[in-house]
Amino acid sequence: MSLGRRAFLLGLGAAGCSRTERSAKPLPSVSSSAVPLGGAALIRTDTWVMGDYRAVIVMPARTERVPVVFALHGRGEAVKPPSEGVLGWPRDYALVRAMERVFSPPLTEADLEGFVDRKRLDGLNARLRSRPFGGLVVVCPWVPDLDPHGPEVRGYGEFLVGALLPKVQKELPVVVGATGIDGVSLGGAVALRVGLTHPEVFRAVGSLQPALRDSTTREFVELAVAARKKNPAMHLRLLTSHDDYFRKTIERQSAAWRAAGIAHDYADIPGPHDYAFNRGPGSIELLTWHDNVLREPISP
């Protein structure tokens, strides 16, 4: 990692260090996105510009309070300038289109870019009929090109939790306490680390084709055990695909969690590890899983 990126990450960590520092240096207010992301009247998008940092917000146009999810993109976007990389989920992974479609089921093979498990698709449509998609605020921050298993993840996580989330809760119609985090590939591994190290913040921690390593399997078991002790209601998910080159490692991580008694959702669905998967099953799976688990009643 370059010195510039290390300094940038240290700055992110500093931004989330203390309540006093955050109140002294408030983040800039929302500016409307100048990038056409598609979408009809159902969906609203905004871009937040915070110095060198950016996040795109994808949300229903209506104003009632809904759960919030952080969606972290892959490395292909991390190596781009922030102004382009931040559009990973909203534009390149077709999240805006996916949100429109889950609001207006039934979903079709075309919505999944042809990567279809018929039984799973039928089950998803049945669930959307019985319990319609209620909507989410999806916060899509730019993810720097960091090592998802290195110490710099801590600073990035502190920025999300200590600076960006409070701004989201203050300025957007979200349900405080109904917060999830997810991501794909690089973003999936980062989402797991950030989510499991902040169990007091996240009720749902998901990952799509996360860039895991066999050398960290035991560490993720320990993180999950500790997180569940602090937050027994936390939902966890690992999702891979038939042609995902992290598939075997993700499968072994799931098996290690089961062996340790860590309940979680696991899925292995059709598709490759590339943009077509993100545009089809990736975006739809992210939206529907978090909408489902974050709307469950919180046990007293």
Q: Are 243 and 271 in contact (CB under 8 A)?
A: yes
pLDDT score at 62: 83
> What is the C-alpha separation between 94 and 98, in angstroms, rounded?
6
Count of CB atoms situated within 10 Å of the CB of 266: 16
> Tokens 């794909």 sit at which residue?
184
Indicate the pTM of the whole model: 0.88
Q: What is the pLDDT of residue 22?
A: 26
Structure tokens at 258: 């089961």
Phi, psi of 147 (to 5 degrees): -80, 115
In Å, what is the CA distance from 286 to each residue of 70, 116, 139, 207?
Answer: 10, 16, 12, 8
pLDDT profile of the chain (300 residues), mean per 10: 38 33 30 42 82 89 92 97 95 96 97 97 98 97 96 95 96 96 98 98 98 98 98 98 98 98 98 98 98 81
Extract the tokens encoding 231. 């937050």
Q: How many CA atoms lie within 13 A of 150 on its CB side?
A: 10
**Domains in the chain with CATH codes:** 3-293 (3.40.50.1820)
Which residues are 265's β-sheet partners? 237
- Looking at the DSSP assignment, which residues form a beta bridge with residue 56? 47, 140
